[in-house]
Amino acid sequence: MERTRVVITGLGTVSPIGNNVPAFEAGLAAGVSGVGPISRFDASSVSCRIAGEVKDFNPEDYFEKRDVGRTDRVQQLALAAAQEAILDSRLNLEAEDRERIAVYVTSGIGGGASFEGEVLQVAIKGPSRISPFLVPKMLIDSIPSTIAQRFKLYGGTNSVVSACASGTQMLGEALEAIRRGDADVIVTGASDAAVTATGIGAFANMRALSTQNDDPARASRPFDKERDGFVMGEGAGMLILEQLDHALARGAHIYGEILSQAVTSDAYHMTLPDPDAKQIVRAMRVAIERAGITPDDIGYVNAHGTSTPANDRTESFALQVLFGGRAPLVPVSSTKSMIGHLLGAAGAVETVACMLTIKNRLIYPTINYATFDSECPLDYVPNVARPSDVRYILKNSFGFGGHNVSIVLGRYAD
C-alpha cells in the first residue's frame, strides 16, 4: 500500500549564529562559529566557561511584558522559531481547519533555568516563596502548549523526550501522525536553553564538555583528533510538516520531503555509546529501508557529531559499516561545529540546516577541522561549504541512555 507523503513547507530557528533562518543560513554558508565566553552567569569556577549562546534575543518581541516572567527561555525561543516557521509556510490559519493542525514540540531539558532559580529561592526563603508559575515554566509539554495557545491549534500536542535525540525523534513522530491521518499539518521541532549554572556545571563535572576556554570559536571540533568534549548551545528549530496533497492544494512552497524514521536502543550504558555500534547501524539501515532506497542513494550525512572522543569515533565506525567501501566518498558534516550542541533541540535545528542544504545545493562544513584522526577517516567536509546536488540526506541523532534515531530526508519530486 502506498504511504502518505509528508513534506516540509516552513522553517524557523533561533540559534547561536542567527535568530532567524536567513541569518542562520548565512552563518552556515560562511562557516561562522557561534561559540564564545558564557555571559548568562558567572562561569569562572567551572572547567568549561564557553557556550553557544543565543545573542540579542528579546522575548518582548514575542510576548507581552507580563508574560515574559511567566515563561521560561525555552518556551520563548520555541515560540519565536514556531512563529517564523508558520509565517514561512504561508499557512492561512484563518482559512485552515485548526483542529487538523497539531503541535509536536519537545526539549531535552525543559525549563531548567526556571527550576534552578526557584530551587535557590527555596534555599534562601523556603518553599512558600516558590513561584506559582514554576510548574508550567519547567514542564516540557508546556512548550508545545505555548505554541498551540498562541496560534489556536487544536489538533493535539505531543512531546517525546529521548535526551539529545529528542528533536529528531519528534520529527519522526510527527511524520507518522500525519500518515495515520491524525493531522494534515504539524508544527514540529524542539527547543533547549540549558546554558545555566546547573546545566553547564553538571555536564562539565561529567567531563563531557570542552575545556578549550582560551579559543572558544575553535572549541567545537567534531571528528578532529584534538577534540576534547562538546560545547553546550541553546536555541530552537521548528518545521512545518504537511500532508503532500494538502500542501499542493494550497500551492505551498516545498523545501523537501521527510521519508522515514527509525529508533533503536543500545541498552549498553547511561552515557557512553556502545562501541560496536550495532544498534546505530540498525537505526540507519532501517530508516533507509523504510524510505524505499539503499545506502548507495544517500548523498550526505548530517551527523550527530558532538566533538566528544567516544561519540565521533563510534559514529564514524557505524558509517563505515553502513556504507562499506563507499564510506570515504560520502560527505559527512556536523552542524555542531558552528552552533555547539543544542541538546534536545540539536536534531531539529540540524534538520533545518538539511533543508537549506537541499534548497541551496550546498553542504555546510564541519569547521575547526585541522588534525586527522585515524579512527575518524571519513570526508567531513572540512571548514568550507561544498556545492552538491544532494537528493537524499541521512540525519543521525543519539542521546544519553543509548537512544539512536535516524531519519531520511529527500529532495521533493513529483
Q: Which of 164, 246, 354, 376 is catalytic?
A: 164
Q: Which of 249, 272, 290 is the last residue of a domain?
A: 249
- Number of Cβ within 10 Å of residue 60's Cβ equals 10
CATH number at residue 350: 3.40.47.10
Domain C-terminal end among 185, 215, 249: 249
Q: Which of 48, 246, 304, 376 is catalytic?
A: 304
Q: Look at residue 143 in the predicted model and tell me its pLDDT.
A: 98
C-alpha angle 344-62-129 in degrees, rounded to nearest 5: 75
Task: Give yes or no: 269 in active site.
Answer: no
The residue from 48, 246, 253, 341 that is catalytic is: 341
* Mean pLDDT estimate for the chain: 97
Question: 390 and 343 share a domain?
Answer: yes
Is 63 part of any domain? yes
Type and span of the H or E element at 92: none
The CA distances from residue 268 to 5, 96, 381, 397, 400, in Å, are: 35, 46, 31, 17, 10
The last residue of one of the domains, among 194, 222, 249, is 249
Q: For 61-117, what is each residue's pLDDT tens digit?
A: 999 999 999 999 999 999 999 999 999 999 999 999 999 999 999 999 999 999 999
Give residue 121's pLDDT. 87
pLDDT of 3 > 90? The answer is no
Give the model confidence (pLDDT) of 393-409 as tens digits: 999 999 999 999 999 99
Containing structural domain, residue 11: 6-249
Number of separate domains in the chain: 2
Amino acid 1: pLDDT? 59
Residue 2, pLDDT > 80, answer no
Question: Does one domain contain both 240 and 386?
Answer: no
CB of 150 closer than 8 Å to CB of 233 = no
Domain shared by 326 and 240, yes or no: no
183 and 70 inside one domain:
yes
Per the annotation, the verdict on 341 as an active-site residue is: yes
**Residue 128 domain-assigned (yes or no):** yes
Q: Is there a catalytic annotation at residue 48?
A: no
- Coil vs helix vs strand at 154: coil
Global confidence as pTM: 0.97
The answer on 183 and 50 residing in a single domain is yes
Nine-digit cell string for 318: 557505524
User: Which tens digits make up the pLDDT trace of 214-250?
Assistant: 999 999 999 999 999 999 999 999 999 999 999 999 9
Question: Do the domain assignments include residue 89?
Answer: yes
Contact 106, 239 (CB under 8 A): no
Predicted pLDDT of residue 414: 79
Q: What is the pLDDT of residues 309-355, one digit of tens each?
A: 999 999 999 999 999 999 999 999 999 999 999 999 999 999 999 99
Q: Quick one: average pLDDT of 146-152?
A: 98
Q: How far apart are CA 107 and CA 175, in angstroms?
A: 18
For residue 288, pLDDT over 90 is answered with yes
37-48, pLDDT tens digit by residue? 999 999 999 999
